[in-house]
Amino acid sequence: MKNQKSKFLLLATCYWLLTTGLWAEMIVGIEVKGAKTVDTGIIISTSGLEIGDELTPINIKKAIEQIYNTKLFEEVSIEQEKQGGGVKLVIYVKECRVISKVEFEGNKKFKSDKLKEICEVKEKWTSSPSAIFDGKAKIKQAYEKEGYYLAEITTETKEEGEKISVKYLIDEGKRVKIRKINIIGNNAVSDKQIKSKLKNREKYWWAWSGKFNKEEFEGDPDRITEFYHNNGYPNCKIIGTKIIPQEIIVLRNNKWVKENKEWITIEIEVEEGEKFYFGEVKFEGNEVFETKELIKGVKFKKYAPYSKSKLSKVMEWVYGIYSDKGYLYLAVDPVESIKDSIVNITYKMQEGKPARVHKILIQDNVKTHEKVIRRELTILPGEIFSRSKLIVSQRKVFNLGFFKNILLDTRQANPEGDIDLIIKVEEKEAGTASLGASYYPNYGIVGNLSLSAPNFRGQGELFSITVERGKAIENYALSYTKPWIFDTPLTGGMGLYHTFEGRYWYKLQKTGGNISVIRNVPLFDFTKARMSYKLENIKVYNVTDASLLSRMAQGLKSAITFGINRDSRDNFLNPTTGMRNDAEFEFSGGLLGGDIHYNKQVFESSTYHTLFWKFVLGLRGQFGFLNEYGTSQAVYERFVLGGIGKWGLRGYKDWTVGPMIGNEVIGGKFASLFSIEAKIAFPNNIYPLVFFDAGSAWESFSDANLQDLKRGAGAGFRIEIPMMGLVGFDLGYRIDPTPKQPYRGWEFHLQMGRTF
């Protein structure tokens, strides 16, 4: 009421001034009346009126609005008095009273303290009518966000001397549900098809809750028109939408009354327009690419229903292949000509000139030296810009493992159209230092001291010290890896170690060291070749079956390993696309000397595909071959499956799948393993997954029977934990019994690092 009264005074004042006909007169004086706590000088200054100004309807109206908008006054009016050769203005104000308390009644969904935060009306503040009204609107909006679209809020004010109390009376009703959605005006498309595109759904007892979401309701019309636009109706539009509360008759105090606190009906009126179809597609002005190459990006056929999204994909294709050649300033104008219901499209192109990379700027790298990033780039200053090279560069930098995020940007560098490439990195904690205990499925609880610096000195070097001790394992290791030795794409590493591990039926001790070199393979993206030499002393203890001891090769092992790896995954911790292929050949003894003689080959391939949204399918295949020669055998190099790790078979205990002698699994000389994982790849390297593993090991390749694979299936979860890396939990079901586990059942696995 007070808000309405102020508006009435404003209109009355303007009307009075209009009828006086005195607008040509000058303001000769300004006085304020009614102010008690607010300084009159502030009021005059806020009004914008000044002595000497000409009196006009506009400056009087504006003055009243500006004073009222301070929210310090309940009423504002301006009167005039003749004085000398001009007009004296008197500004009458009535100050807002201070709020003594703010109360809420009828609220159950929100606590009163929360509503005070929402409405922003507080004790000891002035009681501006507009502020109280705004508070009511904010409370209403908060209830609507929670689905209480029919909630009613009224205000009640009570004067208490010079102060005023405010009470918000709330009738929450119930969370609104949709009884019915009526589609009007659709002839070519069924109600069912349209409703399937909506985020709001009707209440249906077995499928949909029918809860109303106002934000989604506001976006639903766009979803409908998008569907029409992509199915031949480019001129479709929504005429209007309505929300109709459904009243019900209930008995209250022996009287039948209409009431609605829950149900609504939604009406959406559609104007479909005429249906159109694709006709001929032409390209004009193209010289860099032949028309037959550009046509490959046209994924629709002649006379197919017109679709705006398919046209957009053509544009994306064209801009993509041109940007890969450096034509960043390409202009494409799709010109449509319509004959009857056929739309012929001509893409008129202005190719321009290719842009070169002027500078590459690295930003926000606090710890990591700039050259560590630059040496991973496949795009260089002076070259013609290439989108594919830029994507490869981004992937290689990200897979260093030192950064949370990498953002790419460009800016024009000169009038010739060359560009500066800007690479912004967000570093993450890459070093670890821990003292505590860990759990390993193979060894149980293990105490450990670990120091690791994957980005040592900010140079990309890896330095680590590990000390682990448990009931079944001792491990002492020191390693150092330096990438880009002498600023060449050559990585070198060295390490010293002493390990003692207890397997199911024997204990194995290794003491030695290794050196290795890794180099990128020229002309092949994502590809590295490696070579390492290992010299170690091996001892075997506590063999449960004495007959097996004679088969266990012991003594000095001298081995060299060659490997080649191609890894194009977009994120090695949580890949969504790309492949990883690895081949490794190990030769021990023979011309290298030593007491242990064998050769071993392992081949692994995995691939990842994003199916839709964040759903990713991963496939892996792995094979291993072992050839032993000499009087003794390296049984500990055989392939034994089960559990997790490189030869993990989930659903089975560790080291339980493979050929046996007596009651012990000694493993096979040939093994195969296949895995399928489907996951939802959420950001920050968090994802749930389901999996199916199948694998086994045999005495030789000729004994292999792929129909006798041991199978496991289940579900799991992965999360990257700072200072720990990727941690996962898998629950696998053992489908095929084994001699060690002669029954079907579930097996829990703790996963440290990637499965594949």
Q: What is the pLDDT of residues 655-687, one digit of tens each?
A: 899 999 888 899 999 999 999 999 999 887 889
User: What's 98-171's CATH class?
Assistant: alpha beta
Q: Which band of pLDDT confidence, cut at 50, 70 and 90, is reported for residue 711?
A: very high
Q: What is the pLDDT of residue 286?
A: 92
Q: What share of the chain is helix, strand, coil (3-state, %, to 5)?
A: 20, 45, 35
CATH entry 3.10.20.310 includes domain 277-350: yes
Q: Which band of pLDDT confidence, cut at 50, 70 and 90, is reported for residue 23?
A: very low
Is pLDDT at 22 greater than 50 in this prediction?
A: no
SS3 112: helix
Q: What is the pLDDT of residue 485?
A: 87
Higher pLDDT, 104 or 523: 104
Q: Which band of pLDDT confidence, cut at 50, 70 and 90, is reported for residue 720?
A: confident
SS3 737: coil
For residues 268-295, average pLDDT:
93
What are the pLDDT digits (tens) for 348-402? 999 999 999 999 999 988 888 888 899 889 888 989 999 888 888 988 898 888 8
Is pLDDT at 45 greater than 90 in this prediction?
A: no
What are the pLDDT digits (tens) for 123-161? 777 777 778 888 899 999 888 888 888 888 998 888 877
What are the pLDDT digits (tens) for 595-617? 999 999 999 999 999 998 899 99
> CB–CB of 553/511 below 8 Å?
no
CA distance 617 to 607: 8
Residue 71 CB partners (closer than 8 Å, separation 6+) = 96, 126, 128, 130, 131
Structural fold of domain 177-271: Ubiquitin-like (UB roll) (3.10.20)
Of 622, 530, 607, 538, give the one whose Cα is nearest residue 576: 607
For residues 153-177, average pLDDT:
85
CA distance 694 to 692: 7
The CATH number corresponding to 2-95 among 3.10.20.310, 3.50.50.60, 1.20.1440.120, 1.10.1040.10 equals 3.10.20.310
CATH, domain range 515-752: 2.40.160.50
Is pLDDT at 723 greater than 90 in this prediction?
A: no
> CB–CB of 738/657 below 8 Å?
yes
Q: What is the pLDDT of residue 289?
A: 93
CA distance 32 to 30: 7
CA distance 57 to 43: 19
Same fold across 177-271 and 357-427: yes
Mean per-residue pLDDT over the chain, rounded: 86
Is pLDDT at 247 greater than 80 in this prediction?
A: no
Is pLDDT at 84 greater than 80 in this prediction?
A: no
CA distance 712 to 747: 10
Domains of the chain: which residue ranges? 2-95, 98-171, 177-271, 277-350, 357-427, 440-502, 515-752
Of 649, 641, 739, give the one whose Cα is nearest residue 697: 641
Indicate the Cα dihedral angle 31, 32, 37, 41, nearest 10°.
-50
CA distance 491 to 563: 14
Locus of tokens 């499928």: 207
Locus of tokens 């070519």: 188
Supply 367's token pair. 């710890």
For residues 690-711, average pLDDT:
94
For residues 83-111, average pLDDT:
85
CATH, domain range 357-427: 3.10.20.310
CA distance 126 to 132: 10
> CB–CB of 497/481 below 8 Å?
no
Which pTM does this prediction carry?
Answer: 0.58
Torsion over CA: 250, 253, 256, 258 (sign): negative
Residue 488 CB partners (closer than 8 Å, separation 6+) = none
Torsion over CA: 171, 176, 180, 186 (sign): positive
Q: What is the pLDDT of residue 18?
A: 47
What are the pLDDT digits (tens) for 224-246? 999 999 999 999 999 999 888 87
Strands annotated E in 471-593: 473-482, 490-502, 507-520, 527-541, 555-567, 578-588
> CB–CB of 80/90 below 8 Å?
yes
CA distances from 651 to 502, 648, 655, 739, 755 (A): 22, 9, 12, 14, 14
Is pLDDT at 650 greater than 90 in this prediction?
A: yes
CA distances from 197 to 194, 420, 501 (A): 6, 43, 59
Q: What is the pLDDT of residue 100?
A: 81
Higher pLDDT, 727 or 672: 672
- Candidate from 437-441, 693-697, 731-735 with smallest mean pLDDT: 437-441
Strands annotated E in 351-412: 357-363, 403-412
| 298 HSE (CA, 13 A, CB side) | 20
